[in-house]
Amino acid sequence: MTQAAHNLTGKLLLNEPMARYTSWRVGGKADQLYIPAGLEDLRTFLKSLDSAKPIYFVGLGSNLLVRDGGVRGIVIIMHNVLTELKMEDDLVYSEAGVTCGKLAKFCAKESKQGAEFFAGIPGTLGGALAMNAGCYGTETWNVVHSVTTINKQGDLKKRNAAEFIASYRHVDMPVADEWFVAAWLDLKAGDAQESALKIKNLLATRLASQPLNLPSAGSTFRNPAGDFAARLIEASGLKGYTMGGAQVSEKHANFIVNIGEANALDIELLIKHMRETVLEKQGVALQQEVKVIGEYAS
Contact assessment for residue 165 and residue 172, using Cβ atoms and an 8 Å cutoff: yes
CA angle, 250 then 289 then 282, to 5°: 60
289 part of the active site = yes
Pair type for strands 291-293 and 64-66: parallel
Which residue of the set 169, 216, 249, 275 is catalytic?
Answer: 169
Radius of gyration of the chain (CA): 19
CA distance 15 to 265: 20
Other CB atoms within 10 Å distance of the CB of residue 184: 20
Q: Distance (Å, rounded) from C-alpha 12 to C-alpha 34?
A: 5
Burial of residue 211 (number of CB atoms within 10 Å: 0-12, 13-18, 19+): middle
- Please choose, from the candidates 185, 52, 182, the residue with its C-alpha nearest in 3D space to the C-alpha of residue 106: 185
DSSP string, 169-236: TEEE-SSSSEEEEEEEE--EE--HHHHHHHHHHHHHHHHHHS-TTS-B-S-SBPPPTTS-HHHHHHHT
216, 219, 236, 249: the active-site residue = 219
Q: Identify the H or E element spanning 131.
A: helix 125-131
| Residue 278 · residue 288 · CB < 8 Å | no
Catalytically active residues are 169, 219, 289
